[in-house]
A and B are shown apart, each in its own frame.
Chain A
Amino acid sequence: MTLTQAEKAAVVAIWTKVAPQVDAIGAESLERLFSSYPQTKTYFPHFDLSQGSVQLRGHGSKVLNAIGEAVKHIDDIRGALAKLSELHAYILRVDPVNFKLLSHCILCSVAARYPSEFTPEVHAAWDKFLSSVSSVLTEKYR
């Protein structure tokens, strides 16, 4: 799946708004994930998952910053996320379905904060982008 120029532009445009709030949006996305899809907590037995926990904020920030890296290198997501791809393949082994769930939660958080910018076209562009990121992160599994 490839992103068109218009789609890349839409992704980058929203990211400029998201970037200053990376920590908050990251934490919120994870909170949504753990509340709506409790099975995802299985990957975090070592975390305090209560609302506002330091670990949630820290991890949310990590996740969203990685997405920011992918946005910065939107023409070579595979290159930008190569190390993370290996981490997920050899150590984390998060089941691929969970990437869809997290992507959905990120989209909800972004939509909630930027309702007027989140047009159907922007929504589609972001969904394609997050799907690409998810593919890259699972492509070395086997």
Chain B
Amino acid sequence: MVLSAADKTNVKSIFSKIGSHADEYGAETLDRMFTAYPQTKTYFPHFDLHHGSAQIKAHGKKVVNALIEAVNHIDDISGALSKLSDLHAQKLRVDPVNFKLLGHCFLVVVAIHHPSVLTPEAHASLDKFLCAVGAVLTAKYR
């Protein structure tokens, strides 16, 4: 799947509007994911998964920062996330379906906090971008 120039513009614009809230959106995304899709907790037996936990905050920040890296290198997401891709393939082995769930929750968070930003076209671009990130992170699984 290829991101068009318009997609890239839309995604960069969305992330610039999110700006400094990124960390907190990351935490909220995870929180929503664990609540709506409890099976995703399977990958975090070592975490305190209560609302507002310090670990969720820290991990949310990590996840969102990786997305920001991808946005900053939107013409070469595979390059930018190559190490993360290795990590997911060799150690984490998160089942690919979960990337869709995480992506969905992130979209929901953006929609809630920035409803006017998420026009149908912007929504489609962000969804494509998140799919592309998911594809990169699972590309080395086999």
Which residues of A pack against B, CB within 8 Å? 1-2, 124, 128, 135, 139, 142
**Residue in B1, B124, B142 whose CB lies within 8 Å of A139:** B1
Judge whether A139 and B2 touch: CB under 8 Å: yes
A124-B142 Cα distance, complex, nearest whole Å: 9
Judge whether B124 and A128 touch: CB under 8 Å: no
Interface residues of B in 1-53 (CB under 8 A from A): 1-2
**Residue in B2, B124, B139 whose CB lies within 8 Å of A1:** B139
Judge whether B1 and A128 touch: CB under 8 Å: no
Q: What B residues does A142 contact at CB under 8 A? A: 124, 128
State the Cβ distance, A7 to closest chain B Cβ, in Å.
9
Told that A1-B139, A142-B124, A142-B128 touch, could you supply 7 new A-B pairs with CB distance under 8 A?
Answer: A1-B142, A2-B139, A124-B142, A128-B142, A135-B1, A139-B1, A139-B2
Q: What A residues does B2 contact at CB under 8 A? A: 139
Determine chain A's interface SS by DSSP, over half rule. loop
Q: What B residues does A124 contact at CB under 8 A? A: 142
A62-B62 Cα distance, complex, nearest whole Å: 47
Indicate the member of B1, B2, B139 with the most A CB atoms within 10 Å.
B1
Q: What B residues does A1 contact at CB under 8 A? A: 139, 142
State the Cβ distance, A2 to closest chain B Cβ, in Å.
8
A139-B3 Cα distance, complex, nearest whole Å: 10
Interchain residue pairs A-B with the least CB separation, the first 8: A139-B1, A1-B139, A142-B124, A128-B142, A142-B128, A124-B142, A139-B2, A1-B142
State the Cβ distance, B26 to closest chain A Cβ, in Å.
26
A128-B140 Cα distance, complex, nearest whole Å: 12
Q: What A residues does B139 contact at CB under 8 A? A: 1-2
State the Cβ distance, B138 to closest chain A Cβ, in Å.
8
Interface residues of B in 83-140 (CB under 8 A from A): 124, 128, 139
A124-B141 Cα distance, complex, nearest whole Å: 12
Closest B residue by C-beta to A7: B142
